[in-house]
């Protein structure tokens, strides 16, 4: 159960779903919101394609829960960049 002592790491938090999750959870626990595009002051940079960066962030923050929301939403980009997608 999530409470005020819980730590939640959210990847890909820069979109509409991520912002909604941040708004709810930041009121009840400690949230580390990350995204590849830091378009808001409450976001910190994290590229989920970088395994070492993810490992470092998890070891540093020690989350109780991880919400993985990161995704590419550009279908044409994904078709042209299958390895990255």
Is 72 a member of any domain? Answer: yes
What is the domain count for the chain?
1
Q: How many of the other CB atoms lie within 10 Å of CB of 31? A: 24
Report residue 4's pLDDT band, with 50, 70 and 90 as the boundaries. Answer: very high
Is 1 a member of any domain? Answer: no
Yes or no: say if 44 and 34 are a contact pair by the CB < 8 Å rule: yes
- Asked whether residue 6 carries a pLDDT value surpassing 80, the answer given is yes
Strand 30-35 versus strand 43-45 pairing type: parallel
pTM for this structure? 0.87
Is 15 a member of any domain? Answer: yes
Supply the CATH number for residue 33's domain: 3.40.50.720
Of 75, 85, 73, 69, the closest CA to residue 25 belongs to: 69
Is 25 a member of any domain? Answer: yes
Domain that holds residue 60: 7-80
What confidence tens digit (pLDDT) does each residue in 12-40 have? 999 899 999 999 999 999 999 999 998 89
Written as six digits, the tokens of 78 are 């994904």
Is 2 a member of any domain? Answer: no
- pLDDT, position 72: 84
């Amino acid at each position: 159960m999530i409470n005020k002592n819980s730590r939640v790491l959210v990847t890909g938090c820069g979109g509409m779903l991520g912002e909604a999750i941040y708004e709810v959870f930041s009121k009840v626990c400690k949230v580390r919101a990350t995204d590849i595009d830091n378009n808001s002051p409450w976001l910190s940079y994290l590229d989920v394609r970088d395994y070492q960066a993810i490992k470092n962030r998890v070891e540093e923050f020690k989350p109780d829960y991880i919400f993985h929301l990161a995704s590419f939403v550009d279908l044409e980009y994904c078709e042209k960049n299958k390895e990255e997608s």
